[in-house]
Amino acid sequence: MAFRDKKRIFVMIILILFLMCTIHITVATVNHDDRAKTEVFSTYIAVPEEETVKVSKEIIFFNMDTSTQFMRGYYSSYNYYLPKNAKNIEARDDAGYISFEKSPNGYHVFNFRRKVWFEQSYTFHIEYELQINHNTAVFALHESGSNTEVTLKIPSDFDTQIGRSDYTLKNNDDQNIYVFEKGKHWNRTYTVDSVRSTPYMVLTGTADLKEKDVEIEIRYWEGEELWAQETMQTTIESLKILEEKWGIPYPVCYNISITQANIDQTGGYGGYNKGSQGIWLLHSSSQWILIHELAHYWTREFNFEQLWMDEGYADLYAYLVLKEIDPHEAQKRRENFIKRYNSLKDTHEYPLSEWSTPPNITDHNMEYVTFGYTKSFYLKWTIYDSIGIESLKKINKNLITYEGGICNPEYIHTVNSLANQDMSFIYDYIFDPTVNIETNNVDNHLDFI
Ligand SMILES: [Zn+2]
């Protein structure tokens, strides 16, 4: 073979090798998997004077992806989920702003200013803001993975509850600084609920109901005027619908006061109805909870002896009222309730006759309590769905005339006699379906049926 031929073959081999290399070059985007290592330093600073939480994240990305070795590929962008309510989003590296766009899948794609080859790193910053109120701050710590350090700074005159408690707390310059060291696992968002209580201000209004005018007093903290107005509007609107859906006019003789409360005042619950002393409503509670508490003005009049009846009814009526005010939200919440009930059934199943609520909700009893609420709602909703609102009203009007307390047998008897259809499914929810009721004599009052 002539030297020129050898040279030609050599050039061809080099060309083929070059083509093979270029063909395999990949331009990759980082997803959270083993190919890349990411370190995140997140800081949340609450600035109530600006009604804002300023969030900043330093993200250090290392390309450890062996498939990009020998210049076979590089990384050029980074996918990151931001909370839906993030405002004023900016991203930058040391040289200035970097571009980003929102993908149809909901995450943001941040474009690196340079290619990041194998074993190289790239550092950039994301900043955004979350809205809070002057004296109340409710927002989520939005983190993922284990290589993340999270720092939270809140003025020390705020009472703060955080959804996870494995932080260290320092106080510095009138700020409480909560630090979650690296190494903790973040696989969901955690809520921060922070309140600076002020002396209460008062908003008054009147609900023009069927048999009487009911005075409404909303007690709220300074800066929470909007909360007070919305609470007033929902209260007046809901009371009228409640009268109609129960088939019973507002049944108590006293007026209503609703007090804006922090989580210590409600014992971890979303709200608390203290009868003539009024309702304590967690400042971050939804309309559903407010309507639930208003519905208790009716449930209190029934002398129910069983918790599931009170709570199941209150949630059923929260659903029925919300369906009139905001049908989409009502539907969503009903589906969530049922989904939650089904997901807790395997691990927390118990008969409703055995349910009681603790004075405070803790991490330890949260699921037990939630299961009772969701199961009670599910049973009440199934009854309503089977018989319709008019039969439900008939049952209500009958139950409210009972002189003594209403236990399970009285309730079952009334529903059975007024529903005009087979309602035997109710037994399985209230009692242990695996127990033979007749032979084991679960409840002596069963003779009554
Ligand atoms: Zn309740």
Q: What is the mean pLDDT of each run of 10 residues along the chain (449 residues)?
A: 56 49 50 74 96 97 91 92 94 96 93 95 98 93 94 96 94 94 94 93 98 97 95 98 97 96 88 94 95 96 91 97 97 94 91 88 86 95 94 93 87 89 88 53 28
Superfamily of domain 27-195: tricorn interacting facor f3 domain (2.60.40.1730)
Long-range contacts for 90-98 (Cβ within 8 Å, ≥24 apart)? 90/126, 90/127, 90/128, 91/124, 91/125, 91/126, 91/127, 92/124, 92/125, 92/127, 93/122, 93/123, 93/124, 93/125, 94/123, 98/124
Cα–ligand 1 centroid distance for 429 (angstroms):
19
Cα–ligand 1 centroid distance for 375 (angstroms):
14
Cα–ligand 1 centroid distance for 425 (angstroms):
24
Domain(s) of CATH 2.60.40.1730: residues in the chain: 27-195
Cα–ligand 1 centroid distance for 205 (angstroms):
24
Cα–ligand 1 centroid distance for 306 (angstroms):
12
Cα–ligand 1 centroid distance for 214 (angstroms):
21
Compute the distance between CA of residue 26 and CA of residue 117 in angstroms, rounded to an integer.
11
Do 115 and 76 meet the contact criterion of CB atoms below 8 Å apart? yes
Compute the distance between CA of residue 194 and CA of residue 377 in angstroms, rounded to an integer.
30
Cα–ligand 1 centroid distance for 276 (angstroms):
15
Instruction: Say how many C-beta atoms besides its own lie within 10 A of residue 136's C-beta.
Output: 23
Cα–ligand 1 centroid distance for 296 (angstroms):
7
Strands (E), 142-239: 148-155, 159-162, 168-172, 175-180, 190-195, 201-208, 213-220
Cα–ligand 1 centroid distance for 314 (angstroms):
6
Cα–ligand 1 centroid distance for 358 (angstroms):
12
**What SS3 class is residue 108?**
strand
Cα–ligand 1 centroid distance for 34 (angstroms):
46
Provide CB contacts within 8 A for 123, sequence distance 6+.
58, 59, 60, 61, 93, 94
* Four-CA torsion 284, 246, 356, 337, nearest 10 degrees: -60
Please return the burial class of 20, using the count of CB atoms within 10 Å of its CB with bins 0-12, 13-18 and 19+. Answer: exposed
Compute the distance between CA of residue 207 and CA of residue 215 in angstroms, rounded to an integer.
6
Cα–ligand 1 centroid distance for 292 (angstroms):
6
Cα–ligand 1 centroid distance for 339 (angstroms):
20
Place of tokens 């409600």: 266
Domain(s) of CATH 1.10.390.10: residues in the chain: 197-302
pLDDT at 446: 28
Cα–ligand 1 centroid distance for 164 (angstroms):
25
Cα–ligand 1 centroid distance for 65 (angstroms):
53
Cα–ligand 1 centroid distance for 418 (angstroms):
26
User: Containing H/E element for 397?
Assistant: helix 389-399
pLDDT at 100: 97
Compute the distance between CA of residue 136 and CA of residue 157 in angstroms, rounded to an integer.
11
Cα–ligand 1 centroid distance for 139 (angstroms):
25
3-state secondary structure string, 216-235? EEEEECCCCHHHHHHHHHHH
Compute the distance between CA of residue 354 and CA of residue 432 in angstroms, rounded to an integer.
9
| CATH architecture of the domain formed by 308-449 | Orthogonal Bundle (1.10)
Report phi then psi at 137, rounded to 5: -135, 115
- 92: its two tokens: 């930058």
Question: Using alpha carbons only, how large is the chain's radius of gyration in Å?
Answer: 30
Q: Which amino acid makes up residue 215?
A: E
- 324: its two tokens: 């009139």
Cα–ligand 1 centroid distance for 329 (angstroms):
19
- 172: its two tokens: 């510095």
Cα–ligand 1 centroid distance for 192 (angstroms):
24
Cα–ligand 1 centroid distance for 60 (angstroms):
47
Q: Which CATH fold would you assign to the domain 197-302?
A: Neutral Protease; domain 2 (1.10.390)
Compute the distance between CA of residue 396 and CA of residue 388 in angstroms, rounded to an integer.
12
Cα–ligand 1 centroid distance for 160 (angstroms):
25
Cα–ligand 1 centroid distance for 293 (angstroms):
6
- 60: its two tokens: 């250090």
Do 250 and 243 meet the contact criterion of CB atoms below 8 Å apart? yes
